[in-house]
Amino acid sequence: AQKITQTQPGMFVQEKEAVTLDCTYDTSDQSYGLFWYKQPSSGEMIFLIYQGSYDEQNATEGRYSLNFQKARKSANLVISASQLGDSAMYFCAMREGRPNFGNEKLTFGTGTRLTIIP
Amino acid sequence: GAGVSQSPSNKVTEKGKDVELRCDPISGHTALYWYRQRLGQGLEFLIYFQGNSAPDKSGLPSDRFSAERTGESVSTLTIQRTQQEDSAVYLCASSADYLSTDTQYFGPGTRLTVL
């Protein structure tokens, strides 16, 4: 089974609208971390937001928020008021196990290509 | 402060040749990771260093791949007898083990093309 599933290969969204990028995960660990990265056409991987499995509040970072539904094993990224510069690939990733405990490798999904339409 | 740097940014080589890819992590980050990204795909984990030791080499695809890290800083990924299937972007990341989130910060990558 895939550990990280991103079911939307591509999305087109009108500028200034909100967008939700889906991510579901599969793990038997109680402790894990979920990450979202943005990869523009330049190729760099830019960290956006982190959610720990024991965090009770949904993570937020500026226009980014993570809709964490633990029972459903989903960690969707919400981008509010989208901008043209948000056009990029977006990857969801998971670290299984406790942080800084030798389990730090990330497992990535296949990504969603987001295109913002002016 | 300076981010993760990688060199070269692009490498074109002939099948059968050896290549070395270099990564300079963020200063003070003790953890270092190598990933591979084939065209149009997500990232695949290759190897993880904690300090100079590599507790997790599980992602190295074959014995043609090796990596070392010296002085808790620079790391080199070596691919021997390159094959066309090795063509990919090789990304390095580092993280600080004194933080609770262990977020990995990535370098710009090395694009390897094997002809």
- The closest of B63, B32, B64, B25 to B47, measured between CA atoms, is B32
* CA–CA separation, B81 and B113 (whole Å): 13
In a structure prediction context, what are the per-residue pLDDT tens digits for chain A, which is 118 residues long?
689 999 999 999 999 999 999 999 999 999 899 999 999 998 889 999 999 999 989 999 999 999 999 999 999 999 999 999 999 999 999 998 776 666 678 999 999 999 999 9
> DSSP of B56-101, one letter per residue?
E-TT--STTEEEEE-TTS-EEEEE-S--GGG-EEEEEEEE-TTSSS
Helix, strand, coil shares, percent, chain A, to 5:
5, 50, 50
Q: How many CA atoms lie within 13 A of A93 on its CB side?
A: 29
* Residues of chain B with C-beta less than 8 angstroms from the C-beta of A105: 33, 45, 48, 56, 58-59
- pLDDT range class, residue B72, cuts 50, 70, 90: confident
Query: Residue B65 corresponds to which amino acid?
Result: F
Asked if A93 lies within 8 A of B43 by C-beta distance, the reply is: yes
Q: Testing the interface with A: which of B33, B101, B113 to mutate, by most A Cβ within 10 A?
A: B101
φ, ψ at A18 (rounded to 5°): -85, 155
Q: How confident is the model at residue A8, as a pLDDT?
A: 95
Residue A95: which of B42, B102, B108 has the nearest Cβ? B102
Q: What's the order of all strands across the beta sheet hosting B75-79? A: B5-7, B19-24, B75-79, B65-69
Whether residues A108 and B56 touch (CB distance < 8 A) is answered with no
- Does residue A87 contact residue A116 with C-beta atoms inside 8 Å? yes
Q: Is A28 exposed, middle or buried (0-12, 13-18, 19+ CB in 10 A)?
A: exposed
B67: pLDDT strictly greater than 90:
yes
Q: Which of B35, B42, B36 is nearest to B95 (CA)?
A: B35
CA distance A16 to A64: 13
Least confident of A56-65, B29-38, B91-100: B91-100
